[in-house]
A = this chain, B = another copy of it.
Amino acid sequence: MSEKTVRVALDAMGGDNAPDAPIDGALLALTRSDEISIMLVGREDDIRRSLSGKEYDDSRITIVNAAEVIEMAEHPVNAIRRKKDSSIVVGLNLVKDGQADIFVSAGSTGAVLVGGQLITGRIKGVDRAPIAAVYPTTSGGAVLIDSGANMDPRVKNIRQYAVMGSIYAREVMGIQNPTVGLLNIGAEEEKGNAFYIEAHKALKETPGINFTGNIEARDFPMGKVDVVVCDAFTGNIVLKTLEGTAKALLGMVKQGLMSSLRSKIGGLLIKPALKGTLKKMDASEYGGAPLLGLKGLVVKTHGSATAKEVCNTLLQCPSFVNNNIVEKITASLAELEENEPQE
C-alpha cells in the first residue's frame, strides 16, 4: 500500500441491499482503483458470509465489527444516542478518531445526518450540514445543495451552501470557476417567495462565488449552471421530480416500443444508441452525495444503491480526501463569517 492510500470506512449494513450491495461495490472498487483501502463496518458474521467465495485482495480490506444496525424507520436522534455499537456510529467514530479518512453509508439519511453532526462535529459557522447531490444534466453533471438536510434554513445558510457547493464543484468535479444559480421560479431578481427574494440579495453580496442569478427549474436539467442552491425541502422535491419524470417517461417510451411488431424491430435497432443516453441520465453513475460543512468527510448514497453505485461512490473518495475539502471549506466559511451582514 502506498502512503497515499485513502482509508474508507464503509457501512456494510446500510441500504436496502445490504450487506451484499456495499460489499460487492467495495470489491469492485478495489479492482478499479489502487488508491483506496476499505474497512467494512458491521456485523462480522454477516460480512464474512457475504465475502465467502468471492475473490478480493485481503490486504486492502479489513472488517470492523459493529453489532447493531440502525433501521431506516428509526428516529435518527434516538437511534444515534442509543445504538453506540451500530455500523453508522462506529464508522463515524473511525473518522473522528483519525483511523479512517472518510465514511460512506447507504443507510438512513436522518441517522447519517444526525450522527455526522454529533460525532464528527460541524465546522464553525455551519448550523446544519447540507447534502450536496450531483444530478445528471445533458452537459455532464451539476451540484444541487441542499438536497435534503436542512428543511428550514436561514438566508445565511444559503450563502454557505453557495460557498461550499463551489468548492465541491471545483475540487471534486474539476470545474474551473463554477457558476452558481439560486433555484427560483423566474430569472428576475424580485421573483420567488419572501425567503428567496432575500436569498438572492444575499448571494449577490457573497464574495468568492460566481453567482449568475436565479435559475429556473426548467433550465437546470440542461446544465445551465454548475451549482444550484436552495432550501432542502425544495431541493429534495426537485431531485425526486427529476427522478420520477425520467422513470415515467422512459416507461412510456418502452411501452410504446412494445406496441407493434414494427416498433419492436425499431426498438432493437436503437437499443445500442440509447444505452449511452440512458447511462448519462442515470443518477447511479454519479455516486454519492457528501454532507458538507462537517469536520470529517461523510458521504451518503441512495438507500436503494446497487453495487455499481457504491463502487462509483468509493472511487470518488480520494478526490475528497486529497483535495482537502474540509480544510478549504473551513477557511472559506471563516472568511464568509467576517463578511456576514447582521441579520
CB within 8 Å for A252 and B185 given contacts A245-B221, A263-B273, A273-B263: no
Q: Please, which residue of chain B has its CB at the minimum distance from the CB of A259?
A: B273
Inter-chain contact A269/B265, CB cutoff 8 Å: yes
Give 11 A-B pairs besides A192-B233, A249-B250, A263-B270 with Cβ atoms closer than 8 angstroms.
A148-B185, A152-B193, A193-B232, A217-B240, A221-B249, A233-B234, A249-B249, A252-B280, A253-B274, A256-B274, A256-B276
Q: How many identical subunits does the complex contain?
A: 2
Flag whether A216 is at the interface (Cβ < 8 A).
yes
Cα A148 to Cα B217 with chains together (Å)? 13
- Shortest CB distance A71–B (Å): 14
Task: Say yes or no: B238 contacts A218, CB within 8 Å.
Answer: no
Expressed in whole angstroms, the Cα–Cα distance for A273 and B138 within the complex equals: 25
> Which of A266-304 touch B at CB < 8 Å?
266-274, 276-277, 280-281
**Can you list, as one digit per residue, whether each of A224-249 has a CB less than 8 Å from chain B (1) or not (0)?**
00000001111011111111111111
**A contacts with B, residue count (CB < 8 A):** 62
Within the complex, which residue of B148, B218, B250 is in contact with A243, where a contact is CB–CB below 8 Å? B218
CA A14 – CA B248 in complex, angstroms? 33
Q: Kindly provide the distance from the CB of A11 to the nearest chain B CB, expressed in whole angstroms.
A: 21
* Residues of chain B within 8 A of A259, CB atoms compared: 273, 276
Q: Within 8 Å of chain B (Cβ to Cβ): is A175?
A: no
A194 at the interface (CB under 8 A from B): yes
CB of A256 within 8 A of CB of B277, answer: yes
Contact in complex: B218, A241 (CB < 8 Å): yes
